[in-house]
Structure 1
């Protein structure tokens, strides 16, 4: 996949898997920035009010349809859903960029949550989605914060990122900007453990890029 140039005029198609609070909010921000977005759920008919509200750039589909629709996929589903998504769509997911906003929560996701947290959620996600280029993004803040703070006057709110593939990271950075935030690259996918759950230094921080880098000990 060619690198995505900066700016919403690129009209990068995006698949949003899981159109709940986080997926619906971030996907709507991308639609408003000019990106065609397919929102997916197990029952696409339930997404009709959302896509009608967002206009002609938004559409609804099944998970399989959405994965085929775009080379960039935003995942915002319960973490326990990832193994099945990866198994059911292995061929269509190959070589695609996956922005992973799924958090591992023991009370909801069971033993696999503890395993993912121990391994590092980013690394664990890559294992469930072989052949993709995973970037952790948009997992640290609630949807109400994302909705309220998007596109605020500078300095914008920062979103931490972690990924191993340089091109996938560039795409994620551009999409964070298009959603109305400043990306902060923490490092490779293994560094996503620095913002994977409550209590980690990069999690839940309503901070500017300069402030977040300082909290994480990154170069300004």
Structure 2
């Protein structure tokens, strides 16, 4: 049997947890193995919620925030599978990066990290709000947030996910009894989309592929698919899929 590097966890408990993930997700042990490190930039409600869900699934996460002390504090709360670093360290060390920041921070992060994130997967759960984010939000709402985010990270594979439902609902509904809560996913790179779908699954939800990044506008603020708290069937109906 293959073993996995779950730090400081008893072997039997770790394997039992992985078995539960495999049964729930329908993935093979190899596919479901938490062999990647997830980097999360931002430790507000979005970043901390997603980090907790993935740590519970056995994944290592590395956190970053504008105030590094905030990231270190959150990492201590999450336990031995979590650590903290600068945004550059997150971009270097993580296999998949989550931009859990206000949308107005996207251009700055793109300028600082794009080259470091070459060919890496970038999950964008941030929503554009003109009252908070200004002109960049207007552009994202007009053209689609996924398309605009990709422009600032042209060397990475951007996937939109976890932006359409509030974090309090995600915390409450993760791993609920069937039918699972559905999470819409959109991206242009098939491999990146598949990886994100797996992360949606192990977090306790059912991924629903909506299409390419241009389709991510179907579940951004102001759309019919935003804040839809349904099963896969209900979400597909709301999105006219």
| 1:204 equivalent in alignment to 2:227 | yes
User: Which secondary structure state, in structure 2, belongs to the residue aligned with residue 185 of structure 1?
Assistant: strand
Rg comparison, structure with higher value: 2
Deviates more, 1:50-59 or 1:162-171: 50-59
C-alpha distance in 2 between matches for 1:140 and 1:214: 15
C-alpha distance in 2 between matches for 1:49 and 1:42: 13
Q: Could you say which residue in structure 2 is the equivalent of 1:126?
A: 150
Which of residues 73, 90, 96 is equivalent to 1:72? 96
C-alpha distance in 2 between matches for 1:164 and 1:49: 35
Q: Could you say which residue in structure 1 is the equivalent of 2:4?
A: none
C-alpha distance in 1 between matches for 2:75 and 2:95: 20
C-alpha distance in 2 between matches for 1:159 and 1:141: 8
Q: Decide whether the 8 Å contact of 2:228 with 2:238 is kept in 1.
A: no
Unaligned runs of 5+ in 2: 1-29
Which of residues 24, 43, 50 is equivalent to 1:19? 43
Query: What is the TM-score when the length of structure 2 is the normalising length?
Result: 0.85
Q: Could you say which residue in structure 2 is the equivalent of 1:53?
A: 77
| 1:184 equivalent in alignment to 2:208 | yes
Deviations 1:37-91 (A, max 9, x none): 0011122212333212211110111111111111201111011101111111122
Q: Decide whether the 8 Å contact of 2:43 with 2:70 is kept in 1.
A: no
Q: Decide whether the 8 Å contact of 1:11 with 1:34 is kept in 2.
A: no
User: Which secondary structure state, in structure 1, belongs to the residue aligned with residue 209 of structure 2?
Assistant: strand
The residue correspondences of 1:77-96 to structure 2 (distance < 5 A) are 77-96=101-120
Q: Decide whether the 8 Å contact of 1:43 with 1:62 is kept in 2.
A: no
| 1:159 equivalent in alignment to 2:188 | no
Unaligned runs of 5+ in 1: none
Q: Could you say which residue in structure 1 is the equivalent of 2:161?
A: 137
Count of matched residue pairs: 213
Deviations 1:1-24 (A, max 9, x none): xxxx642x2332100011110111
Q: Highest relative contact order (Cα 8 Å, sep 6+), 1 or 2?
A: 1
Deviations 1:161-213 (A, max 9, x none): 11000000000100000111100000011000101113x12110110011111
Q: Decide whether the 8 Å contact of 2:37 with 2:95 is kept in 1.
A: yes
Q: Decide whether the 8 Å contact of 1:162 with 1:189 is kept in 2.
A: yes
